[in-house]
Amino acid sequence: MRLIHTADVHLDACFAGAGLSARAANRRRQSLRDVLDGIVRRAAEWPADALLIAGDLFEHERVTPDTVAFLKGLFDSVRPLPVIIAPGNHDPYVAASPYAAESWPDNVVIFRRPSWESVCLCEGRLVVHGFAFDGYEISSNPFGALTLSSDAAVHVALGHGSERAHQPPDGKSYAPFDAETAFAPSLAYFALGHFHRLTEIPVAAGRWRMMYSGAPEGHGFDESGEHVYLEVEIDGPDLRIAPVTSDRVRYTVHMLDVSTLASAQDLVDNLRRLATQIVVPQVSRVRLDGSCAPSLVSDLRAIEDALANDFEYLAIEDATMPTEDFDELARDPTSLGAFVRRLNEEIRDAPDPGRQRVLERARAIGLASHRGHAVEIASLHAGEGRS
């Protein structure tokens, strides 16, 4: 049996958390469509015996009629390939959902209840068991309640939820479960959604495999790095899982020390080198650190515009400090001199490097404010977070 497993596409996501411009967010939403289109086409061409989508295909509150039309046309174009969907917490099966309100091509199977349902495929040789969220919080957690018949079919489970031992520390738990209690005799593979990183859940050797495919493309800077879908082959007792790169763009976060740079052109050249480090376009956030002449960072928006062809999207954060002779300033018999003198003493006596960086940034911000220059107060807190 050949299966393709994906989840957490989140079509029509707003990307507000990533801080993208409206234009960049529109491009990201189109990229999610393109990524899904590529996965579905691959499932038809491989060919897979079924395409498994483990929830959060779209975002219920934002899904548009055009996105529904896109999905119906895409799935119809690969008939008779079975497309099996287990709605998750972002795309629950509720009365107002397109899952319930729309007519879908006959090769699409959408689980409807928060309890296990089964669909037989490949003339009974493959059975997919799944369930649906019936709201943003599932009304009844079905994990641990799956029972299977003892027959010669390949049994696969499909669901959306949080395996407790691997729940990300900053993530919210939905339909929580423990891996071993989710096992059912004769189960070969458990295709999961909800965690946006590729994650294999360790289970007893030789019994079965449980995988989160992760999101096929990142949705923000907290989802940097490569994203994939899974190609699964089940041949008797042998089960092979191959992650396949699917992202069209990749979120990256960089730190760049500008202390040795002499001009804005040097900065542009260094940023261009960052852009060539990976083969796919980057949605990149770059934090500039170190000391430099104010002219180097005087117009970062212009530098972002100049590199529009090098990055899919570029956001530069200025955490630099101006090069100054602070010892000379401290001898100035003015309020500014007194301020610098006091900060110099606190920096000298700082208990650790993190506190020293915060004080150095405070000194630079105070100096810039005194001179009537633009001040980015957020940079002070960003420096403090790195201590």
* pLDDT per residue rounded down to tens, the chain (387 residues): 999 999 999 999 999 888 888 999 999 999 999 999 999 999 999 999 999 999 999 999 999 999 999 999 999 999 999 999 999 999 999 999 999 999 999 999 999 999 999 999 999 999 999 999 999 999 999 999 999 988 889 999 999 999 999 998 877 899 999 998 888 888 999 999 999 999 999 887 556 899 999 999 999 999 999 999 999 999 988 899 999 999 999 999 999 999 899 999 999 999 999 999 999 999 999 999 988 888 899 899 999 999 999 999 999 999 987 777 788 889 989 999 999 999 999 999 999 988 988 898 888 788 878 867 555 544 444 444 333
Burial of 167 (0-12, 13-18, 19+ CB in 10 A): middle
Instruction: Return the number of other C-beta atoms located less than 10 Å from residue 377's C-beta.
Output: 10
Residue spans of beta strands (DSSP E) within 66-125: 83-85, 108-110, 117-121
110-119: pLDDT as tens digits: 999 999 999 9
Q: Which residue(s) pair with 322 in the sheet?
A: 292
What confidence tens digit (pLDDT) does each residue in 130-167 have?
999 999 999 999 999 999 988 889 999 999 999 999 99
Cite the DSSP H helix spans in the chain: 22-45, 65-77, 98-101, 179-182, 264-275, 300-306, 326-330, 335-348, 353-370, 378-385
Q: What is the DSSP letter of 55?
A: S
Give the separation between CA 54 and CA 161, rounded to whole angstroms.
9
Question: Quick check: helix, strand or coil at residue 176?
Answer: coil
Angular region, 341: left φ>0, alpha ψ -120 to 50, beta rest: alpha
Sign of torsion over alpha carbons 19, 21, 22, 23: negative
Domains of the chain listed by start with CATH number: 2-245 (3.60.21.10), 250-385 (no CATH)
**Distance from the Cα of residue 227 to its chain's centroid:** 8
pLDDT at 387: 35
